[in-house]
Amino acid sequence: MMLGRRVTLKNQFKEIAMYRNRMLVSLFGVLAMMLLLIVWVAQLQITQYEKYRTESDNNRIRVLPIAPTRGLIYDRNGILLAENRSVYSIELIPEQIKDMEKAVAELSELIVIDEDDRERFFKEVKRTRERFKKIPLKSRLTEAQVARFAVNRHRFPGVSVEARLVRFYPYGEILSHALGYVGRINDRELVTIDQENYRATRHIGKVGIEKYYETILHGKIGTQRVETDVQGRVLKVLEQEDPVAGSDLYLELDLGLQLAAYKALEGQRGSVIALDPHTGGVLALVSTPGYDPNLFVTGISNKDYKKLLNPDRPLFNRALRGQYSPGSTIKPHLAWLGLESKTISPSYAINDLGVYQMPIEEDRRFRDWKRRGHGSQIDFRRAIIESCDTFFYDLAYKMGIDKISDTMQQFGFGEFTNIDMGEEVPGLMPSREWKQRERRVRWFPGETVITGIGQGYWLSTPLQLANSAAAIASDGIRYDLKMVGAIANQNSKITIDPVLAQKQVDIGNGQNFKRIQNAMKEVNHNKFIGTARSAFQGANYLSAGKTGTVQLFGLGEDEEYEAENLAERLRDNALYIGYAPFENPTIAVSVVVENAGGGGSNAAPIARKVIDTYLAKLQEGK
């Protein structure tokens, strides 16, 4: 009735029928599409359930690395030489900070952040791929800085103060060249390290023992499976695998001896090495000047670093890398070779007028350090005790370079000492082949003559000098040098056995070896002519040694001398090698003091102090 005038009843029937038909089609359409949704969702939730479950777990679960504690370094008596100290650092999570520049700028109002810190921080932010990793901005915060940040903490989401264990070297400069140091991992190291094991580690051994024993000191990373939200906030710890701390190192080094050696050498440029002749263990290793290794741990500032680049070269490890002409210190070795090779007999003697003339080139003269010579009847004994050059010019010429070169290598010259430090250089034991190969010139006989007094091409490191002294002390048995005597973890302590050096001195029946050992004893104890007699005056033990005084001709490694220092830098290097006690030696030493003058008066007294200290300590120990 209300349905409009134009609409007929017939149309209404037709319309309703049509409408219901369309509605039915629609209903089937709706049902079909709902079924499609259900099938589609079931396909996600049933068929691909495992895949999505895993992806959901990957979202929420993160494996956080836990850094292992770095192994400690002790001296032979268990005194801590390198420890880990808790240090506060301010760290940022880039993902949780909206405006990094602004955050850093605001932080620097609270805490002084210098340009070096900023630069390093932004570099690391750029480099880091791992999400939600805390990146240190400033390390070694003071208590006051920590407090100041704590008050303002709410202003800095994503910024936190973290306490981290950081290497500390309590003896600083004194052990710098003996231990080396750790520093922040740099780009180059990042490529070579085991990335997985170092995920939580910020520092790595850069030089010295810290570098050589890096894998042992570092330990094994631990992991923590945690549940996090999308912001990386940790909500729950699911499980944890503890890290395995690095092993501790027990050095052969004796801190007391090291301190004495350092004190004796302090203020001069040079090196003191003390060895256990029966093991090759390094009892003391000093190179001066040193530096404070703690500066390098959290990153040295440019200013501090520039200070270390001075002409005294404090970063240069003279003990391992300083190459010096051995000078007269090798006279006992050559004398022994002369006797053993029967080039001379024990009674062979010369008349020394202060000059040596080669038989073939009579116009070439080689002067003795003593202007008028050492007088008549100079046999090998007096030649060692008084350090007569002429005798050794003659002897070297008679033996020839080939024999000298071969045998001196057996004493370790020109050879690596294989010390567990990694940075040593082999020095140079010249030979005919070497000269032809490297210099493309034949060997001249005159060069053999000056080899007789440890000059010319011959270069040795303080380590090699000490090693050769130890070889004489132990009747020709020579060991590879070692800093580390034992490695200890929670469960066990492994002692490292001495390793014989590859080349050994064949002392035959030992008669000639005894002869030169006796001559070296006279060097220290002959009251009238021993070159080290004043240094060893009043010693309550017998010892053996040999002095060396090496003239410099303005060549060698020190070419960067400034003009005003020239005079000083051209003074002789003072050298000394020795061992004690004379019977059953327990210590062998080498001393090198650059530009100090005569070895007897400048190097030998340092050796005396070192030996006194060590023997006294042994006495106490008994």
Partner 1 sequence: MNASSSARSHTHKERQSLAWRLHIDVPLLVSLLVVMGFGLIVLYSAGGQSESLMMRQVARLAVGCTAMFIMAQLPPRFYANWAPAIYSFGIILLLAVLIIGDKGKGAQRWLEFAGFRFQPSEIMKLAVPMMVAWFFSERVLPARKRELLVAFLIVMFPTLLILKQPDLGTSLLIASSGMFVIFLSGVSWRLLISFGVVAVIYAPIHWFFVMREYQRERVLVYLDPERDPLGSGYHIIQSKIAIGSGGLDGKGWLKGTQSQYEFLPERSTDFIFAVLGEEFGLVGVILLLALYLIVIARGMYIGSQAQETFSRLLAGAIVLTFFIYLFVNIGMVTGLLPVVGLPLPLVSYGGTSMVTLLAGFGMLMSIYTHRKLVSK
Q: Mind telling me the catalytic residues?
A: 328
- Pairing label, strands 484-488, 493-495: antiparallel
Hey, which residues between 369 and 388 contact partner 1 (CB under 8 A)? none
* Buried residues in 187-200 as b, exposed as e (16+ CB within 10 A): eeeeeebeeebbbb
| Identified binder of partner 1 from the candidate list 194, 229, 433, 568, rule CB under 8 A | 229
Using CB under 8 A as the binding rule, whether residue 96 contacts partner 1 is answered as no
* Minimum CB distance to partner 1, residue 93 (Å): 16
Report the residue number, 42 or 567, with the smaller CB distance to partner 1: 42
* Minimum CB distance to partner 1, residue 498 (Å): 59
At 47, give phi and psi (nearest 5°). Answer: -65, -45
| Identified binder of partner 1 from the candidate list 77, 142, 186, 231, rule CB under 8 A | 231
> What does each C-alpha distance from 542 to 98, 468, 581 come to in angstroms?
74, 19, 6
Let me know how long the chain is.
Answer: 622
* Minimum CB distance to partner 1, residue 94 (Å): 15
Using CB under 8 A as the binding rule, whether residue 95 contacts partner 1 is answered as no
Report the residue number, 58 or 86, with the smaller CB distance to partner 1: 58
CB 356 within 8 A of CB 391: no
Region of 30-38, 123-131, 398-406, 525-533 interacting with partner 1 (CB under 8 A)? 30-38
State the number of binding residues for partner 1 (CB under 8 A).
Answer: 49
Neighbours of 163 (CB within 10 A): 11
CB 581 within 8 A of CB 513: no
Residue 476's contacts (CB-CB under 8 Å, 6 or more residues apart) are 504, 505, 506, 507, 510, 513
What token pair was written down for 412? 């370790």
What token pair was written down for 356? 């040596």
Using CB under 8 A as the binding rule, whether residue 32 contacts partner 1 is answered as no
Report the residue number, 15 or 438, with the smaller CB distance to partner 1: 15
Q: How far apart are CA 613 and CA 257, in angstroms?
A: 6
* Minimum CB distance to partner 1, residue 153 (Å): 23
| Identified binder of partner 1 from the candidate list 16, 105, 190, 567, rule CB under 8 A | 16
Using CB under 8 A as the binding rule, whether residue 190 contacts partner 1 is answered as no
Report the residue number, 59 or 240, with the smaller CB distance to partner 1: 59
Region of 22-30, 209-217, 357-365, 580-588 interacting with partner 1 (CB under 8 A)? 22-30
Region of 33-41, 87-95, 120-128, 175-183 interacting with partner 1 (CB under 8 A)? 33-41
At 178, give phi and psi (nearest 5°). Answer: -85, -35
Torsion (CA) 286, 291, 293, 295 in degrees, nearest 10: 180
Using CB under 8 A as the binding rule, whether residue 555 contacts partner 1 is answered as no
Using CB under 8 A as the binding rule, whether residue 237 contacts partner 1 is answered as no
Contact letters for partner 1, residues 49-88 (x by CB under 8 A): x-xxx-xxx-xx----------------------------
Contacts made by residues 80-84, CB under 8 angstroms, sequence distance 24+? 80/170, 81/169, 81/170, 81/171, 81/175, 81/179, 81/251, 81/253, 81/255, 82/167, 82/168, 82/169, 82/179, 82/210, 83/167, 83/168, 83/170, 84/165, 84/166, 84/167, 84/168
| Identified binder of partner 1 from the candidate list 28, 30, 224, 378, rule CB under 8 A | 30
Using CB under 8 A as the binding rule, whether residue 235 contacts partner 1 is answered as yes
CB 546 within 8 A of CB 381: no
Region of 15-23, 90-98, 289-297, 387-395 interacting with partner 1 (CB under 8 A)? 15-23
Distance of CA 459 to the CA centre of its chain: 22
| Identified binder of partner 1 from the candidate list 20, 102, 153, 439, rule CB under 8 A | 20
Residues that bind partner 1 (CB under 8 A): 1-4, 6-7, 9, 11-16, 18-20, 22-23, 26-27, 30-31, 33-34, 36-38, 40-42, 44-46, 48-49, 51-53, 55-57, 59-60, 227-231, 235
